[in-house]
Structures are given as structure tokens and as C-alpha cells.
Amino acid sequence: MLRTLVFYIFSQLAIGGLLSILSVPPEAGKRFFRFCGLLSLCLLLIALGSGPFPLAFWETVLSNPGIPLSQAFLILTLLLTLFYVLAVAYEKKQMEKPLLILASIVGASALLIGGYNSLPEISLWGRLLTAVYFLLSGLFLGSTIYAMILGHWYLVIPTLPIYPLRALTRLMIFATLGKLVFLCLTAYVFWYIGDAPMQQTLLSFVGIGGIFLWARLLFGLLGPLILCYMIWETVRIHSTQSATGLLYVATIFVLLGEALSRHIFYTSSIPI
């Protein structure tokens, strides 16, 4: 289970990071985009190297075509990210944005396919919700952690304009709200459309049996939501040092919450 956790969190963070820096204006500077591209590249390498499925995806193509297809998309994302980093490093500005967009699209497709095929035994609507869960989790992780990195950049370059951080903070707020709404929607759908065992699983979350769910809600959603408001207010008054400190706390909360979320998902098959 640990290898699966590392595989999904690292791949989702890498792709969520690529999607996040799409919203960052070029004024953030060459070094920021190069660093973020390299970080996504390393995260993808770790994910593919520690994943529960063999990199030689042709070994499983006959038994489960969804898993090798998602891996193929991840490998393609890895290559496109490498080309993007090289384009940034050698200042090939005409190629930078198209490569980043293409890597983000292919990466998002990998998450959707991987989510859809992660639990083939559940119903169609459950698999569709899981696909969205994987993509939204990537954006949630990426927007928070890459916003923290951008906040740290202001400590290195104090003259950096504020609107790149404002843009990424806004994306983080939307991703956090999206995760909260998606959790409520998923619980509603699984309760009213799910079978009796699924409803029993949801009932087990009430009380002490749902300690992981309540911890996930507290640290992984409500905590970041409160921090989002505080971060937005500090960014609004151009207090980048305070915003960066709050983003460090948000990063810890989000990583803890997403780890708990994956535990719930792989023990109950409910993507919350």
C-alpha cells in the first residue's frame, strides 16, 4: 500500500504542479519555472520508479489495458516536462508555453485514466467520480505546494510583483473549495445510488469509526480553507513573508489530509 500511496501522491502532485504554473504570469521569472519544471520531473521519476505497476507496461496490457495506458501517458508527460525544462533553460520562449500546456493535458489525461481504472470492480459512476477525484487531488496538491514555492521566491527576489502569487493563491482557493464540494457530492451520490454495503460503509464513518474521515476533514479541508482566507488577506496587503509562512502550514495540512484521504479510498473504495 505504501508504494501505491507514493505512486499516486507523487504523480498527482507533479501533474497538479504543471497545471498550477500554467496560471502563473511569466513575471515570476525563468528560475521559478525552471525549478518547478525540474521538481515535477523528479516527482514523476520517483512515482514511476516506486509505483505498484511495472514500467514495462506491455506485461499487463492483456489483463488490464487501463493501467498501462495511464502509465504510457505518465511517461509521455515525463518526456514533455523534460523538453519544457530544456526550453526554459535555453530560453526557447516560443516553445515553453506550448510544451507546458501539452504536458499538462497529457498529465491530466493520465490522472483521469488512472483514476477510472484504479478500482475496476466498482460501478461506472463510482469510477467516473474516482477519475475526477484523482484530477482534483492533483490540482489541490499542486496549487498549494507550488504556491508555497512561489511564496518562498519572494524571499529570494523581494522586487517580484505580487500578482503571480495572487493568481496562484486564487487557484489554491478554488481547488480547496472544489475538493470540499466534491466530497459532499461524492458522499451524497454513494449514499443514494450505492448498494447496502456501501451505505453501511458510510454509516461506519459516524462516531469513533470515522476517526480517519474526521481527521481528513479537519486537517485536509477545513484547516486549508481557513488558511486560504488568511493567505489571501496577507497577499492582498502584499505581506509576502506572512503569506509564505501560512503556505508552509497549509502544505503540511494538505499533505496530511491527502494521505488520510488515500487511506480511506483504498480501505473503503470511496473517493473522499
pTM: 0.90
d(CA 177, CA 29): 29
Q: How confident is the model at residue 4, as a pLDDT?
A: 78
How close are the terminal C-alpha atoms of the chain, in Å? 17
Q: Kindly tell me if the per-residue pLDDT of 102 is higher than 70.
A: yes
Domain 2-268 has CATH 2.60.120: no
Least confident range from 12-21, 109-118, 144-153, 209-218: namely 209-218
In the chain, alpha helices (H): 2-21, 30-50, 66-89, 93-118, 124-156, 163-193, 196-203, 211-217, 223-236, 240-268
Contact 214, 179 (CB under 8 A): no
d(CA 186, CA 208): 21
The domains of the chain are located at 2-268
Give me the mean pLDDT over the 224-229 stretch: 96
Average pLDDT along the chain: 88
Q: What whole-number percentage of the chain has pLDDT above 70?
A: 90
d(CA 167, CA 32): 15
Give per-residue pLDDT as tens, 46-61.
998 876 555 444 344 4
d(CA 181, CA 106): 25
Give, in order, the Cα–Cα distances in Å from 263 to each of 77, 90, 248.
Answer: 26, 42, 23
* Residue recorded with cell 521559478: 32
Give me the mean pLDDT over the 164-172 stretch: 94
Burial of 166 (0-12, 13-18, 19+ CB in 10 A): middle
d(CA 267, CA 82): 35
